[in-house]
Structure 1
Amino acid sequence: MRDIPVVLDGYKLTVVEPPAPKMREDGNGGWLPVTNRDGVTQFVVSLFAKLRTAPGQRPQKGEEIKVTLETDPGEGFGEDSRVALVNARINAYQIDSPDGRSISGISFKALSLAPAGLAPAPRGEK
């Protein structure tokens, strides 16, 4: 399964590293921007995700996540900004190394960013 929709309404998302074009090594010591199949540059943002707690509850620890953005989110998403992900999805992955070890996890992807509380409805919903 790919692009599994994920609802992060119960989390506070804070920008740790502002959005920037996603880059990949070209094998010759240089860097190239990552593009999708249509040639559109992808972006990446680092967020600190922390579960919202009700008054009187003990806050839990958060976690830093990197999110690939399918479009340029524009200006206004500097460090410490509270944001929401537009059309957030996860993908599972597994990488098998030559030494027989397997690395697995999930990766986050979204259409773009919006200021916290202002994210539009996902595609196909009103």
Structure 2
Amino acid sequence: MALRNIPVVFEAYRLLVTEAPTIKMRKDEKTGEFVPATDFRGVQQFQVSVFAKPLPNDEGYQGKGEELKVTMSVDPGDDITEGMYVSLISPTVSMWQNDMGAGLSFKAEGIVPAAAVRSVA
């Protein structure tokens, strides 16, 4: 049984873009060519790399961070750039496993500059 699309809360983390959003590509099994990735409905996918760094706790301790690749089904446009702090819209995580190993995959409905989310709240 795979755990899929579990909501994730990143309120205790700062997310820094380490690679600007791009069209997600996959290797076509028949031709060997790289083609744009789509979901099961045929919607084009995008991806962005972010570094998730915990915010300091009450004692000032700030844990280590982790780089995450996040897949989105909405084009983030040119407003999201490397080095920018961002927030993910409705992020989820899914567990995957195959013959090569296992891991987590992150998805979000979208991405916005961090200040944009704070101003809405």
Larger % of helix: which? 2
How many pairs were matched up? 116
Alignment of 1:23-38 (within 5 A): 23-27=25-29, 28-38=31-41
**TM-score of the aligned structures, taking structure 2 as reference length:** 0.86
Percent identity of paired positions between Structure 1 and Structure 2: 42
Unpaired segments ≥5 residues, structure 1: 98-102, 121-126
RMSD over equivalenced CA pairs, Å: 2.0
| CA-to-aligned-CA distance 1:33-73 (integer Å, 9 cap, x gap) | 00112221100100000001147513221111100011111
Tell me the distance in 2 between the aligned counterparts of 1:113 and 1:18.
Answer: 11
Which one of 56, 63, 74 corresponds to residue 77 of structure 2?
74
Which residue is 2:104 aligned to? Answer: 106
**TM-score of the aligned structures, taking structure 1 as reference length:** 0.83
Unpaired segments ≥5 residues, structure 2: none
- Runs of 4+ residues over 6 Å off in structure 1: none
Q: Does 1:6 align with 2:8?
A: yes
